[in-house]
Amino acid sequence: MPDPNGFLRYDRRLPARRPVPVRIMDWREVYPQAGEELIREQATRCMDCGIPFCHDGCPLGNRIPDWNDLVRTGNWDAAVESLHATNNFPEFTGRLCPAPCEAACVLGLGGQQPVTIKQVEVEIADAAVARGGLRPRPVPAPTGRSVAVVGSGPAGLAAAQQLARAGHNVTVYERDDALGGLLRYGIPDFKLEKRHIDRRLAQLSAEGVRFRTGVNVGVDVTAEELRAEHDAVLLACGALQGRDTPETPGRALRGVHQAMAHLVAANRAVAAAAAGQPSVAAAGDGRQPPAVLPDGTPIDAAGKHVVIIGGGDTAADCLGVAHRQGAAGVHQLDLYPEPPAGRDAARDPWPTWPWILRNYPAHEEGGERVFAVAVQEFVDDGTGQVTAVRIAEVTVEKREGRRTVTVLPGSERELPADLVLLAIGFDGTEEQPLLAQLGVVRNGRGAVDARPNWQTDVDGVFVAGDMHRGASLIVWAIAEGRAAAAAIHAYLGGVGELPAPVDPAQQPLAAR
């Protein structure tokens, strides 16, 4: 029985973030470990609601009130088990999820303070490591059936683990030199240190999952070869087609890049530094590793005026990277007006995901956010290098699904810019040889449709994660990976059923 007065006795509290002047000198995670006392106190705030609305926010079906109570009573081993029953990688979601469960928590009603669900989750995930490591699960007798998973992001890895634990032979193909998808080279270390991925990969490996990195399926291995070798194929290739703005004058200037080019280069530089040193922390002695594109072109923010275009996760990650690289100044531009600080119940009633101003840790590290502006031109310094961004104030209206942007006359001004990063979203999964070879087509959103059993229009070829949903969240990628694994298991005639937390048509809890 949980403490019915816990939320009356304790306010919501999170561990203090590492001080800004210290953390921007290195690439280590922003949050330190919370400490058992704080986390047990916070878990005590959970009311174990008769109808736990937090469940409606989480596509994984995490048993939130159960593990809150187990943490409250200090029953860590059971909490670890309960958490892993629904989530293969709580150390990723606990660190990175924007926590739709917290937006749906009953304690958040009327603008109050929800349970710190995500913080409890990450502490349980870390307790699993501290209390004996991520032990591999015993694998049942082999089924003799074989599955190829293309893509090693959270969707592919979750599916691979589920299928291996059901006794299937699983091979994960990844075109990059390292595994993890966007978690590896997209998301910076200050949000997720890569040791968490490596630890989980060791567990998957011990459970029998085979990994083939540096293999671009469709180029290095044809779809025909893949299908000949495996009984089923899961496509989990992500939604990595960056949206661009080719019509904006000056787009072709030097110094104007896709945000992902910047993030991948920065993450690779950090990985290289870390490989030569005992820990990522050692890279942060004031000398940030220089980031370069694959052709050697520098894309480092050191000493530069940086303009980031976009308001989401990717933009905030570029901001944090720019600070750590030693940018001279950073502006982050958003087309939309500044959202309200709290939920507008008329627009997004509880328990839906609210449109509010999201302040990431990167925002408290510096930089200036500019709302309701659109770029009119990237300005040339006369040598083909960008030197400024000309912006104008705008209003944005949405009518019948179409967006109309109106420029306010006379509002134009320039911001200094040596490095411009486009973080304006993704246009779905990339068009690549693999799709044509398989006969799989992208829909109007650039994603790949799935039937109710997660199969594409091609027999034996399944799809999950961002490739199916469009650019989304890690929690959805894991949920879809688990559900697709269940469908593949059934397709292969596996014994029993695997958990399938979502179906392909499922949408996040939203008012619009």
Ligand X SMILES: Cc1cc2nc3c(=O)[nH]c(=O)nc-3n(C[C@H](O)[C@H](O)[C@H](O)COP(=O)(O)OP(=O)(O)OC[C@H]3O[C@@H](n4cnc5c(N)ncnc54)[C@H](O)[C@@H]3O)c2cc1C
Residues near ligand SF4 (CB under 6 A): 46-49, 52-54, 64-65, 68, 105-107, 115, 117
Which CB, 52 or 354, lies closer to ligand SF4?
A: 52
49 binds, among ligand SF4, ligand X, none (CB under 5 to 8 A by kind): ligand SF4
In angstroms, how far apart are the furthest CA atoms of the chain? 72
CB of 30 to ligand SF4, least distance (A): 24
Which CB, 64 or 204, lies closer to ligand SF4?
A: 64
Contact 157, 163 (CB under 8 A): no
Which CB, 290 or 470, lies closer to ligand X?
A: 470
Q: Where are the extended beta strands (E) located within 1-78?
A: none
CB of 353 to ligand SF4, least distance (A): 15
Structure tokens at 498: 């695997």
**10 Å Cβ neighbour count for 76?**
19
122 binds, among ligand SF4, ligand X, none (CB under 5 to 8 A by kind): none
Contact 376, 405 (CB under 8 A): no
232 binds, among ligand X, ligand SF4, none (CB under 5 to 8 A by kind): none
CB of 157 to ligand X, least distance (A): 7
Q: Nearest to residue 26, comparing CAs of 319, 292, 289, 303?
A: 289
Q: Nearest to residue 117, comparing CAs of 50, 176, 69, 160?
A: 69
Which CB, 106 or 479, lies closer to ligand SF4?
A: 106
Per CB under 6 A, residues contacting ligand X are 96-97, 150-156, 173-176, 181-182, 186-187, 191, 216-218, 236-238, 240, 263, 313-314, 317, 432, 434, 465-467, 472-475, 477
Tokens 């939920």 found at: 343
Tokens 């059901």 found at: 166
Contact 139, 207 (CB under 8 A): yes
332 binds, among ligand SF4, ligand X, none (CB under 5 to 8 A by kind): none
Contact 391, 375 (CB under 8 A): yes
207: number of CA atoms within 13 Å, CB side? 27
263 binds, among ligand X, ligand SF4, none (CB under 5 to 8 A by kind): ligand X
465 binds, among ligand SF4, ligand X, none (CB under 5 to 8 A by kind): ligand X
Contact 275, 248 (CB under 8 A): no
Which CB, 3 or 313, lies closer to ligand SF4?
A: 3
Which CB, 316 or 392, lies closer to ligand X?
A: 316
CB of 123 to ligand X, least distance (A): 18
Which CB, 67 or 491, lies closer to ligand SF4?
A: 67
341: number of CA atoms within 13 Å, CB side? 1
**10 Å Cβ neighbour count for 63?**
20
Which CB, 119 or 455, lies closer to ligand SF4?
A: 119
Which CB, 64 or 484, lies closer to ligand SF4?
A: 64
115 binds, among ligand X, ligand SF4, none (CB under 5 to 8 A by kind): ligand SF4
CB of 97 to ligand X, least distance (A): 5
216 binds, among ligand X, ligand SF4, none (CB under 5 to 8 A by kind): ligand X
CB of 29 to ligand X, least distance (A): 12
Tokens 């944005």 found at: 396
CB of 105 to ligand SF4, least distance (A): 3
Q: Work out the burial of residue 478: count CB atoms within 10 Å of its CB; fewer than 13 is exposed, 13-18 middle, 19 or more buried.
A: buried
Q: What's the CA gap between 239 and 428, in Å, rounded?
A: 4
**10 Å Cβ neighbour count for 136?**
16
Q: What's the CA gap between 139 and 214, in Å, rounded?
A: 27
Which CB, 182 or 273, lies closer to ligand X?
A: 182
CB of 101 to ligand X, least distance (A): 12
106 binds, among ligand X, ligand SF4, none (CB under 5 to 8 A by kind): ligand SF4
For residue 130, give every residue at least 6 positions away whose Cβ sits within 8 Å of its Cβ, in sequence order, or none: none
218 binds, among ligand SF4, ligand X, none (CB under 5 to 8 A by kind): ligand X
204 binds, among ligand X, ligand SF4, none (CB under 5 to 8 A by kind): none
Alpha-carbon distances, residue 216 vs 11, 146, 148, 261, 465 (angstroms)? 50, 19, 13, 19, 18
Which CB, 69 or 313, lies closer to ligand X?
A: 313
Q: What's the CA gap between 396 and 394, in Å, rounded?
A: 7
CB of 459 to ligand X, least distance (A): 20
For residue 300, give every residue at least 6 positions away whose Cβ sits within 8 Å of its Cβ, in sequence order, or none: 265, 266, 288, 290, 291, 292, 325
Question: How many residues in total does the chain contain?
Answer: 512
CB of 376 to ligand SF4, least distance (A): 46
CB of 155 to ligand X, least distance (A): 3
